[in-house]
Every structure is written in C-alpha cells, then in structure tokens.
Amino acid sequence: MHQGCKQNKPRGLLSTAAAAILLLAVSSYGQVRVAPGVTYREIKREEIPWSIQVLEAFYKTPSLALGVELGGEHIIGIEPLNHLMERVLTTGHQAVAGVNGDFYILEAGPFQGDPIGFCVENGELLSSPINRSALVILEDGSLVIDRFHLNAYIRGPDGSEYKLSGVNQYCRANGIVLITPRFNGKTRPQENSVILLAGPLPKPLGPHGTYTFTVAEKHGGDSETYIPPDRVIFIGRGTGAEFLDGIEPGEPVECVLDVDPSPGAILHAIGGGPRLLRNGKISIEASEEGIAESFIETRHPRTAVGFNGESLFLVTVDGRQEGYSAGMSLPELAGLLKELGAEDALNLDGGGSTTMWVNGHICNRPSDGRIRPIANALLLFNTSQ
C-alpha cells in the first residue's frame, strides 16, 4: 500500500557536522514507499535541532513525471500548496508530491504573486529568467540547472527593433514587456505607458520562437486592459513607449523570444537561487546571482531540489521554531544535498513559503504557523494511475 508522509516516524539520527557541512547517516533510516520509484523519509537531529523532510524519486522511472504548476493558475496569483495540489488532482493528474517553488513578490499590491525568475509550464513561457539559477526539465526528461537569460525583442513594421525587458512582469522605465493571457485576465495600470494589443495567438508562446502579430489596438496604459485568450499585449514606458507609439493598428509586429543558453526543448522550468551543488561539489553561487551574504549564512527554513543520474531529491528543512527546528544556512543545506547523493542542486524559496506535500498531507511544519500561499510549485506525478 502506498503511504503518505504522516506514516513515517523515524526514531533517531546519527549525524556529525564539520566545516559548516552537514553529514547525515541517511542510510540508517527506513523509507516509506509513496509510489513506484518514490520514497519519503523524515530526519531529525535533536542537538541543533533540525527537522528535515526528504522525498527521493528515481525520476527516469517511466511512470514518473516532473511538472510545474502556477498558484491560482495565473502569473498574478498565489495559492497554498495543499489547495494547489487538490486542484491539480481534480483535473485527473495523479500528483504524488510537491514543494513550493520560486521566490515571488510577496507584498500585497497589483503584482503580488509574480514569480521572480524563470517559469515554463508545459512548454509555455510564463515568466522570463533573471540572473539566477533555475531548474529546467527537458522534453526528454533530462534535468538541467543553469543561469538563463532572455534574449528577446519586438520588431516594428519598418524593421526597427527594441529589446524586451521581460515577460509577464512590471514594466520599468524605458522598457517594453510582453504580457500573455496567463498573466491574470487584465493588465495592471502603469502611468505614462503605451499599450499595443496584438494577435492572433494561435498557440501558447514558448521560450524560443518568432511570432508574427497584427496590432488591433493602441492606447495608454493608465487603466486596466482586458487580455483576450488569443491576444498578447506589449506595454512600453519612456523610450519603450515612444517605440510602441510609432506602430499603428492594422500593422504587423514580430516578437522574437529566445532563452540563452539553450539546453534543448524546454518542457518545464522553475526559478530559485542560488545554485548549491555543481557536478558533485558544493558550489554556492550566491555572489554571481546577486544574493546577499546574510541570506547564505543565516539559518532559515529551506526548500531545495537536487538530482544525480538516477535520483531526484525534494528537500524541506523546517526553521524559526525554537526547540523543534532551527533551519539551515546554505552551506548546511548544500552539505545535506551532497550527502543525500545529489550532484547538482538548487535552493528554492524558503522561509514561511517552505512546504512539502506528499500523498494528501503537508509533511513539514511551516514557520508562519499556516500554509503560506505561493506563486508556483514543483510537482511529481505518477502517470501510471
């Protein structure tokens, strides 16, 4: 019988810590079978203390598949992980596990829920990458962690080009952003901006491709604009607004999207940062990703994903709960992933967002005292059911 996390009650842990790297006697503990090729375990250490949840999957098992799901099904939307998983199950997809994903705009406001980094769901580009690491799942099932960059532009009818600042996000000064129907129904007001509504959109936009549209409307962006399911919107400010203002309704525009480097056909992607492991060695690449030193060394609740040639590891570490679990620094988290057997690993959003769901149960103890709504999640599916 497949079991969930609540049935796993480990009774001890033999572990040592040295040079800020956690060494765990992980082979000492029994594992609960969650699905074919998937096991779950909890690890406790009383001295620190630590409470750790580990899901391991032989991800090349034919019946297993990894995926990404947006909170609330839209870019501007947040949803607790348990609600997200229940919603996915109602669609007939047999999700067996999931963890919270990327960092996002947490503060209440018009862009609350916007993922910070790269996000692709079923081949659809939902959020453009920034200079932080992301996990990419290719169509052949391969996994890649890398720092990806958006190389994209809009081309006017006269052949002139303007670089796109991003996809489905706030438009900064002198920028142009592309807004797709997955944004959340309508744009958000942005002062002194120009909007082009263009289409048709025959299929969802992927992270690579050239798309030709006809401009249907042009107007200011000081108020909300409805996004039809078969249209896209370009929003420009400053010199970006001037470029868009030179294009009239009825004229064609091209949008060229490209993500660099190109590891292959991208099926899913989820952002995070920083990278923790590279080719079997601890490599905390926080400075390269613009992440503060205090975030590295301070113990926080953490979520991470790691993998080797056979196994995928989803890991959560509870924190900020005196006497129960202190959380981990990034060196400690990297040491844990290395000891589990991962060769490459990525830190995901942590703190109050840290959540793991397995077979209908939230397995960890979120530090907010509640299950915080999140922007997106990394899911594991059992496709044989």
- Say what the pLDDT of residue 256 is: 97
> Does pLDDT of 19 surpass 70?
no
pLDDT class of 30 with cuts at 50, 70, 90: low
- Say what the pLDDT of residue 11 is: 27
Longest Cα–Cα distance of the chain, Å, equals 70
Pair 216, 230: CB distance under 8 Å: no
pLDDT class of 40 with cuts at 50, 70, 90: very high
pLDDT single digits (tens) 155-187: 999 999 999 999 999 999 999 999 999 999 999
Point out which residues pair with 210 in neighbouring strands: 256
Mean pLDDT of 334-356: 98
pLDDT class of 3 with cuts at 50, 70, 90: low
pLDDT single digits (tens) 64-113: 999 999 999 999 999 999 999 999 999 989 999 999 999 999 999 999 99
- Say what the pLDDT of residue 4 is: 60
pLDDT class of 223 with cuts at 50, 70, 90: very high
Distance CA 330, CA 110 (A): 32
pLDDT class of 385 with cuts at 50, 70, 90: low
Distance CA 385, CA 381 (A): 9
Point out which residues pair with 125 in neighbouring strands: 120
Cβ-based neighbours of 229, under 8 Å, separated by 6 or more: 181, 201
Pair 113, 104: CB distance under 8 Å: yes
- Say what the pLDDT of residue 286 is: 95
pLDDT single digits (tens) 42-55: 999 988 999 999 99
Distance CA 376, CA 323 (A): 30
> Does pLDDT of 27 surpass 80?
no
- Say what the pLDDT of residue 221 is: 94
| Single pTM value for the model | 0.92
Mean pLDDT of 15-36: 55
Distance CA 278, CA 308 (A): 10
pLDDT class of 12 with cuts at 50, 70, 90: very low
- Say what the pLDDT of residue 367 is: 97
- Say what the pLDDT of residue 384 is: 83
Mean per-residue pLDDT of the chain: 92
As a three-state string, the secondary structure of the chain is CCCCHHHCCCCCCCEEEECCEEEECHHHCCCEEEECCEEEEEEEECCCCEEEEEEEEECCCCCEEEEEEEHHHCCCCCEEHHHHHHHHHHCCCCEEEEEECCCECCCCCCCCCCECCCEEECCEEEECCCCCEEEEEECCCCEEEEECEECCEEECCCCCEEECCEECCCCCCCCEEEECCCCCCECCCCCCEEEEEEECCCCCCCCCEEEEEEEEEEEECCCCCECCCCCEEEEEECHHHHHHHCCCCCCEEEEEECEECCCCCEEEEEECCCEEEECCEECCCCHHHCCCHHHHHCCECEEEEEECCCEEEEEEECCCECCCECCECHHHHHHHHHHHCCCEEEECCCHHHCCEEECCEECCCCCCCCCCEECEEEEEEECCC
